[in-house]
Chain A
Amino acid sequence: MELALFIIFGLLAVAGALNLLLQHHPINSALSLIVVMMSLAVLYWSLGAEFLAAAQVIVYSGAIMVLFVFVIMLLNAGEEDTSPGSKFSRVASIAGFPGAAAIFCLLTYVFLSERDHLGASRVGGYLSNTVNNIVDLSHTLFTSLLLPFEVTSILILVAILGAVVLARKEP
């Protein structure tokens, strides 16, 4: 059952990612990216990371991608120009696939060989009676990781203030 979910949404994520690259219209690409993020959320959930899944949907597909779509709508971006490009883009298209495959193989090798150090999670999560990780997550976040958490919040606050200052019109 859990494996079926994993296969369906894994395939959906890969299909969405390929569609993102192959589509010529920016809004179709943005929508494919939303499909990828939603499928990833389901995969996180099936691995027992419920909070991460919800945050993925609310923050990434619900807020950040809305802004992407918003910008595309406002700028009324048209179809992408697909004429054969410069020498560099041809090199990129030749080297890209082997490069991506190499990175994929390397990551798979590292994750599989270092499995004992990295830890593993079972497919099924909540259904296979793993612990409710929201409690654990918040406990860790507000006790042992409190300082990094607060520092990150201040960093984000600084970034927001910076954006406000940059966006303000000169009097």
Chain B
Amino acid sequence: MHLSDFQIFLLISIIKIVVVLGITLTAVAYTVLLERKVLGRLQNRWGPSRVGPFGMLQPLADGIKLFLKEDMMPLAVERPLFILAPLIALSCALVSIAVVPFGRRTLVHGVDIFQISNINIGLLVILGITSIGVYGVALSGWSSNNKYSLFGSLRASAQLVSYELALGLSLVGVILRAGTLSLRGIVDSQSAHGLISWNFFGGFQFVAFFIYLMAAYAETNRTPFDLPEAESELVAGYHTEYSSMKFAMFFMAEYANMITVACVATLLFFGGATSPFGHLFDNVAVLNGPIIGALLSVFWFVVKIFGFLLLYIWVRGTLPRFRYDQLMGFGWKFLMPVAILNILATALALAYHS
């Protein structure tokens, strides 16, 4: 059978999408398990340990439980929007993965297999999709017709819109250094000497990184910025009225967002799929074969993502929750001015060097 170029492209793209989606959803399930385990250890207890060896089958059991639970539909909800909201939240969280390059450029029949689509404005696409994700939260709270849900969603949308600004501004320094908005291009700009040419170390973007990290915690509604779902004040925030799979969708969206945010941090500040050793081991033939080399690049990417996920859980186990006015003051009066100063400093340094 002979396939045309377009058919090959279509076939490989579909396979890529299926595989990446499968891996992301599995990663989401196991991030939940990792969080429960590590949080358990941080609080001097075991965490889930009964289902399967070391509790490894716990996500499967949770999934079955959520699937089989009764799907309650409260009578006073705005029905179409109530159903639409979790779909928006989950699909926005999953779509961003499409532009992430998670390995070095590896062409099979002229198609890069480690990135679903290499878009020349990849970073802006991720920011755009994140900003659309606000609607999932906002609409879920409003359509639930419940005062706690509405408060939760008002808090969440105000917080997301405020921190999006600091988040966007913190990335400008990296874009200035790379001179491109394509994620592959940004990764390539840091690949010269391994660790020391990453934006975090060699690029002096650590201020931008910490601004990004804090804004990203707020964007994903994680502790210490999890006011939208503060259980001591708001029952469960915007997803109070949701049950069964609709609740699971919000839950998965939160963890998928965590993974996306970790991907962006890795790509922008920690060199993406490049090795921290740079070209140190380029003359070791075993590590540079076409297959082992490609797998090694994916390995470095996964290690970095894993580090970020552990950091998330560590922070959740350590820090208490902010008060709402402190949250807003921190975002607008501290993070944003510092981000602008960082842009100014980076631009001046680049202008001085060029």
Q: How many residues of B contact A (CB 8 A)?
A: 26
Within 8 A of A (CB), among B122-152: 124-125, 127-128, 130-132, 134-135, 138-139, 141-142, 150
- In the complex, are the beta carbons of A58 and B142 less than 8 A apart? no
Cβ 8 A contact of A61, one of B81, B132, B168: B132
Known: A27-B142, A73-B150, A134-B181. A66 touches B124 (CB 8 A): no
- In the complex, are the beta carbons of B124 and A74 less than 8 A apart? no
Is A70 located at the chain interface by the 8 A CB criterion? yes
Known: A63-B131, A63-B161. A58 touches B124 (CB 8 A): yes
- In the complex, are the beta carbons of B131 and A57 less than 8 A apart? yes
Cβ of B49: which chain A residues have Cβ within 8 Å of it?
A: none
Q: Specify the chain B residue showing the minimal Cβ separation from A58.
A: B128
The CA-CA distance from A69 to B84 in the complex, in Å, is 15
Q: Per-position contact with B for A51-83: 1 when CB-CB < 8 Å, else 0?
A: 101110110011100110110011000000000
The CA-CA distance from A42 to B138 in the complex, in Å, is 24
Cβ 8 A contact of A70, one of B119, B124, B154: B154
- In the complex, are the beta carbons of A57 and B154 less than 8 A apart? no
The CA-CA distance from A79 to B135 in the complex, in Å, is 21
Within 8 A of B (CB), among A25-70: 27, 31, 34, 38, 50-51, 53-55, 57-58, 61-63, 66-67, 69-70
> Secondary structure of the B side of the interface?
helix
Within 8 A of A (CB), among B97-124: 119-121, 124
- In the complex, are the beta carbons of B120 and A73 less than 8 A apart? no
The CA-CA distance from A34 to B88 in the complex, in Å, is 13
Q: Specify the chain A residue showing the minimal Cβ separation from B131.
A: A62
Min CB gap A58→B, angstroms = 5
Q: Specify the chain A residue showing the minimal Cβ separation from B181.
A: A134
Is B157 located at the chain interface by the 8 A CB criterion? yes
Cβ of B157: which chain A residues have Cβ within 8 Å of it?
A: 66, 69-70
- In the complex, are the beta carbons of B138 and A58 less than 8 A apart? no
The CA-CA distance from A70 to B154 in the complex, in Å, is 7
Known: A66-B157, A70-B157, A73-B138. A126 touches B120 (CB 8 A): yes
Cβ of A89: which chain B residues have Cβ within 8 Å of it?
A: none
Known: A73-B150, A132-B120. A57 touches B138 (CB 8 A): no
Chain B residues proximal to chain A, CB less than 8 Å:
81, 119-121, 124-125, 127-128, 130-132, 134-135, 138-139, 141-142, 150, 153-154, 157-158, 161, 164, 168, 181
Give me 5 other A-B pairs in contact (C-beta within 8 A), A58-B128, A62-B164 excluded. A31-B135, A53-B121, A73-B154, A74-B154, A134-B121
What 4 pairs across the A-B complex have the smallest Cβ distances? A62-B131, A54-B124, A57-B128, A73-B142
